[in-house]
Structure formats: C-alpha cells, structure tokens
Amino acid sequence: MARKIGLYGMIAYFLYALFFYWYLFYFSNTSLPFEYEGTQADPATFLNARELMLSEEYSKIRNLLFFLSTPFEWLFYLIILITGLSNAFKKWAGQSSKYKMVQTAIYTIWLSFFAFVATFPLSYISYSLSKSYNISTQSFPSWMKDELIDFWLSFGTMFIIVTVVYWLMKKSKKRWWLYAWGLSVPFTLFIMFLQPVVIDPLYNDFYPLKDKQLEAKILELASKANIPAEHVFEVNMAEKTNSLNAYVTGIGSNSRIVLWDTTLNRLSDDQILFIMAHEMAHYVEKHLYIGIAGYLLLSLVGLYITARLMEWIVNKWGEALKIPAVNDIRSFPLFLMILSMLMFASSPISNFVSRYQESRADHYAIEMTKNTEAGITTFQELSRAGLSQVNPPLLVKIFRYGHPTMLERISTIEEYELKTRSQKQ
C-alpha cells in the first residue's frame, strides 16, 4: 500500500509539472489586448527588444519554479512518511536523550535538515536563474548565509509548533486545533512586532533615510496623512539585487515603511514620493491589521480542516504511512503537508484581497500626489528592473500576484488622466 501511495504521488506530481510547463510555455498568452497596444502600459513603449525577450523568458522559468516548488514540498513529506524516515527520526531522538523536550528538538532538526537538503536544488536553481538574468547581484557565500539563517529560523519556529501542538493533542484529541489557534494569535502578533527589529536585521542593515532633502519631502507628504515619518527606513539591498521595492512591516511602535536603496538609487524624488504615498495608504486604511485579521481567520479554518483530515487519513492509511496515532510526533510531516496544501489552495483568496488593497493604495497615491507621470514611469521602471510581465497568465496572477498587474496599474493611472482632463474641459 505504501508503495502505491508513493507511486501515485510521484505520478501526480509529474502530471502536474507537465501541465504547468505546457500552460506557461505553450498555452498561455501574455500579449496585450488590442485596446492597450501603443499605450503607456504596452511594454514595447518602454522596453527595448532585448528587455522584452528577457522578461518573457525569465518570467516563464521563474513562474514554473514557483509552481513546482510547493507541490514538491508535499511530495517530500509523503516520502518521509512512507519510507519510514519519520519513524527513524523518532527512534534516533529516543536513543539520543531521555528528556522529552530534547527528543522533540532532535526529531525536528532531522526533519528540518532533510527538508533543507531536498529543496536546496530548487532554491539554487532559482538563485542561479536570477544571477544569469542580472536580477540578483548576491554572491554565493552571501546567499548561503541567508539560506542558513532561513534554516535556523524555520527550525526554531517548527520546534515551537511541534512542541505546543503535540502537547495539546495529548491533552485534547478533539479540540487541540482550537487551543492551538488560540495560542497562535499572540504568537503571530509577537513575531510581527519583532520582525522589523530582530528578524529582518539578520539579513540586511536598516537605517533611517539618509537623504535629508528627500526626507523633508516625505515628512511634508506624511503630515497630510497624519503618519509618523520617523518610521521610514532604507535597507542596503544593492549588494543582493537590482530589483526595486518598498513595503510596510511591523505593528505598533515597531511599524515602519522600508525603501530599498536600489529604489532610492534608480528613481527620481517624484517617483519615490509616489511610492511613499502608496505605502502611506496602507497605514491610513489599516491594511496591515486587516491582513492580520484575515490571516487569523484563515488559520482557524485551516487548523480545523487539518485536524479533521489528519484523523481521517490516519484512520484509513495510518499503517501504510507508519503513523500509529494522530498525536504521535511521527504524524508531523502529515500535519505540515496538509497545512501547506491548504495555504496553497487558499492563496487565490488572500492574493485577491491583497490585490484589492494594493489597488486602493495606488488610487490613494494618485489622489495624494496628483503626479500621474511619476506613477506611470515608476511602474514602468519596476517592470524593467524585475523583468516582470506586464500582462501575466491568469493562473500566475491568481496564485502569485499580491499586487495588480502592471497592465492594470498603469491603465488605472491613464484612466485617471482622461477623467481629470474631461472634468477640466
């Protein structure tokens, strides 16, 4: 039975990979609708022929890697179960220490290590791809350092989860998922509070904006929206990437707007102010807190479904998967696999909400700055720097895009321009 499950899993993954290869490279059409040709949203108007070719090539390969990586994680956890490796991890942990907490840590480190090794090739391919297309400027040692930081942060998080969740499972077989969710609320808020001051600085250096003239302009813009501009930071990303970015992070007193130095180096003050107005909109409309509430709601539903699925799977295929009981630590790969599947399945919903919020932020920036040229040229430069498709395939947009497409964003500004002109006439 275990062999059949493994075989079916590998066949399903192969067919899935084949489908997305065909979809991305042969079926999907990324050309612009006729009515947008020649507009400022048309990449042919702001990218040269080589940039157009590279953006199509890079986007297709990058999107394929995205669609391959998450289901590969599911296949990995399935193999860990059916081969008895999860059993072996527990056995090695039991032989290493008599203390339960230490045994849990040893089990988790083995699972984390095998996951790191299994997913490393795809991670390296993604890194090499971005290097070859001149998106990444990061050296291999620097990249490996970030990978190792990811590993230890992932291990630490996983250790906390497995310790708490399986303790709750033993205390309450039926309601553990509800108690786990209750504990996840303060934990999530605590991590988000620490993110800007503890976790992010592990990867890069953050400091207040250096350009004092630009800072004065941002202060003036921020005062219109009643936003504490002392929360604007820049980060040294030029040693790692040529891409441009700005984002909102943290909650409470640790909340801040972050600008990559690549953004500061390549965009004009007017373009940066447009980006700042966009990020300020997230503060004004409380998007961060709405996002947290949405995440917590989805996690409640997700944990309930996970609990029900784990019970059903263990009752039906527990012997084949070498899981004697749901509350046995050997079921942890199954727990992670189901959660990952549910997150992937729910990503169209979370991305839809995110695209709506980002669209609202774009409208806010347009109304606040009244600088449509800066908005359009900013989005054009973002497309050029990241070699991103202006009009990506539908499935890519649904599963990958937390922002509106560049076609939608630039077209929105052009429509605003037309509306403003007609009102003046």
Query: 279: closest CA among 360, 217, 379, 351?
Result: 360
| C-alpha angle 78-79-85 in degrees, rounded to nearest 5 | 115
Residues 264-305 have pLDDT tens digits of 999 999 999 999 899 889 888 888 889 889 999 999 999 999
The reply to whether 278 falls in a domain is no
254 located within any domain: no
In this predicted structure, what is the pLDDT of residue 21?
95
Which structural domain range is residue 299 located in?
Answer: 2-204+286-424
Nearest partner of 154 among 115, 212, 96, judged by Cα: 115
Is 269 inside a domain boundary? no
Task: Please tell me the distance from the alpha carbon of residue 279 to that of residue 418, in angstroms, as a whole number.
Answer: 25
Handedness of CA 278, 279, 285, 289 (dihedral sign): positive
Does any domain span residue 266? no
- Tell me if 12 is assigned to some domain: yes
Q: In whole angstroms, what is the distance from residue 179 CA to residue 280 CA?
A: 36
Distance separating alpha carbons of residues 304 and 176, to the nearest angstrom: 9
Using DSSP's 3-state secondary structure scheme, residue 248 falls into strand
Instruction: Spell 376-394 as b/e; 16+ CB within 10 A means b.
Output: bbbbbbbbbbbbbbbbbbe
Q: Can you give the pTM of this predicted structure?
A: 0.91
| Catalytic machinery residues | 279
The reply to whether 271 falls in a domain is no
Structurally, the chain folds into a number of domains equal to 1
- Look at residue 230 and tell me if it is in a domain: no
143 domain-assigned:
yes
| Per-residue pLDDT in tens (0 to 9) along the chain, 425 residues | 777 888 888 999 999 999 999 999 999 888 888 888 889 999 999 999 999 999 999 999 999 999 999 999 999 999 999 999 999 999 999 998 888 899 999 999 999 999 999 999 999 999 999 999 999 999 999 999 999 999 999 999 999 999 999 999 999 988 999 999 999 989 888 888 888 888 989 999 888 888 888 888 888 888 777 776 566 789 999 999 999 988 877 777 777 788 899 999 999 999 999 998 998 898 888 888 898 899 999 999 999 999 999 999 999 998 888 999 999 999 999 999 999 999 999 999 999 999 999 999 999 999 999 899 999 999 999 999 999 999 999 999 999 999 999 999 999 999 988 888 777 66
